């Protein structure tokens, strides 16, 4: 029999639970539900049942499950749920660089693509202080494309840890996404895994790893926001995977 291992002194009763619904989705669920009721009221079943299905899908889209974030020196956790579609060495966005930002040098960028079926609440990859939040309007091309990092509507978030390490992440709108909702502002304190924003209806999140840090996640892997360790600061041993 497999026994659940817990840290000494941790006596939590860990059980599966229904995920909550983020407040950002309440109005959309209510609108869809009211429309469905109106269709039923007039006896338009052919329209009512698809609207019921749409209401359920919207509730599922805005689900906001609790996450358990690992604690450890220098750990960087995934900022988003989804598929790791790109890992490349690039210059960070100009909006994130400068005297008080990231260094203007090649960094490893890990891109996580969120389909419309993934949880869309984004979380802080590290704990620290929000130093900057920069919104940029743009296009809505397929978020899986590399050019989406420079052409799409996006929002950059710069976080500085207590020891001065800075991590940049970018929320990118996609074909269907039309709204990036921030939960934080410059000066806010966050802990690793804390909710920092949400993107509606399909999108992508990029995270820029500091120099000397390699990803511990491989292309094609699925990341879980606030839980999956994607890197450890100062550790540059990359991992690779096999699809099977």
106-151 pLDDT per residue, tens: 999 999 998 888 988 999 999 999 999 998 886 665 556 666 666 6
Would the pLDDT of 2 be above 60? Answer: no
Neighbours of 39 (CB within 10 A): 18
Of 223, 184, 177, 213, residue with least CA distance to 82: 223
For the chain, domain boundaries: 20-64, 75-232
- pLDDT level of residue 4 (50, 70, 90 thresholds): very low
> Which residues, at least 6 apart from 51, have a Cβ–Cβ distance to it below 8 Å?
32, 35, 36, 39
Tokens 């100009």 -> residue: 94
DSSP state of 23: G
H/E stretch holding 62 reads none
**pLDDT band, residue 3 (cuts 50/70/90):** very low
* 55 close to 36: Cβ distance less than 8 angstroms: yes
Is residue 158 within 8 Å of 130, Cβ to Cβ? Answer: yes
Taking the C-alpha atoms of residue 118 and residue 112, their distance in angstroms, rounded to an integer, is 11
What whole-number distance in Å separates Cα of residue 223 and Cα of residue 215? Answer: 12
pTM: 0.84
Within 8 A by CB and 6+ apart from 25, the residues are 58, 59, 61, 62
Give the contacts of 199 (CB within 8 A, at least 6 positions apart): 114, 120, 122, 171, 172, 173, 177, 179, 180, 181, 205
**Dmax (CA) of the chain:** 64
CATH of region 75-232, choose from 2.70.70, 1.20.58, 3.40.50, 3.30.200: 2.70.70
State which H helix or E strand residue 233 sits in.
none
Gap between the Cα atoms of 152 and 173, Å rounded: 6
pLDDT per residue as tens digits for the range 55-91:
999 898 889 999 999 988 899 999 999 999 999 999 9
Contact 157, 187 (CB under 8 A): no
- As annotated, the active-site residues are 203
Q: 169: pLDDT confidence band, cut at 50, 70 and 90?
A: very high
What is the rounded average pLDDT of the residues 2-14? 58
């Amino acid at each position: 029999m497999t026994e659940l291992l817990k840290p000494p002194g941790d006596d939590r009763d860990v059980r599966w639970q229904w995920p909550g619904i983020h407040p950002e989705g309440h109005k959309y669920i209510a609108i869809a539900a009211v429309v469905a009721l109106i269709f039923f009221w007039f006896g338009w079943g052919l329209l009512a049942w698809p609207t019921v299905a749409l209401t359920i899908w919207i509730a599922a889209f805005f689900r906001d499950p609790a996450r358990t974030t690992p604690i450890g020196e220098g750990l960087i956790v995934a900022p988003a749920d989804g598929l790791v579609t790109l890992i490349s060495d690039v210059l960070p966005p100009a909006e994130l660089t400068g005297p008080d930002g990231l260094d203007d040098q090649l960094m490893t960028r890990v891109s996580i693509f969120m389909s419309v079926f993934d949880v869309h609440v984004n979380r802080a990859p590290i704990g620290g202080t929000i130093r900057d939040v920069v919104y940029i309007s743009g296009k809505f091309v397929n978020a899986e494309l590399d050019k989406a990092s420079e052409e799409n509507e996006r929002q950059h978030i710069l976080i500085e840890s207590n020891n001065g390490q800075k991590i940049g992440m970018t929320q990118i709108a996609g074909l269907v996404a039309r709204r990036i909702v921030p939960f934080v502002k410059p000066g806010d304190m966050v802990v690793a895994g804390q909710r920092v924003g949400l993107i509606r209806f399909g999108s992508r999140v990029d995270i820029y790893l500091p120099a000397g840090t390699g990803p511990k996640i491989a292309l094609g892997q699925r990341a879980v926001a606030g839980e999956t360790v994607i890197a450890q600061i100062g550790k540059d041993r990359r991992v690779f995977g096999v699809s099977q």
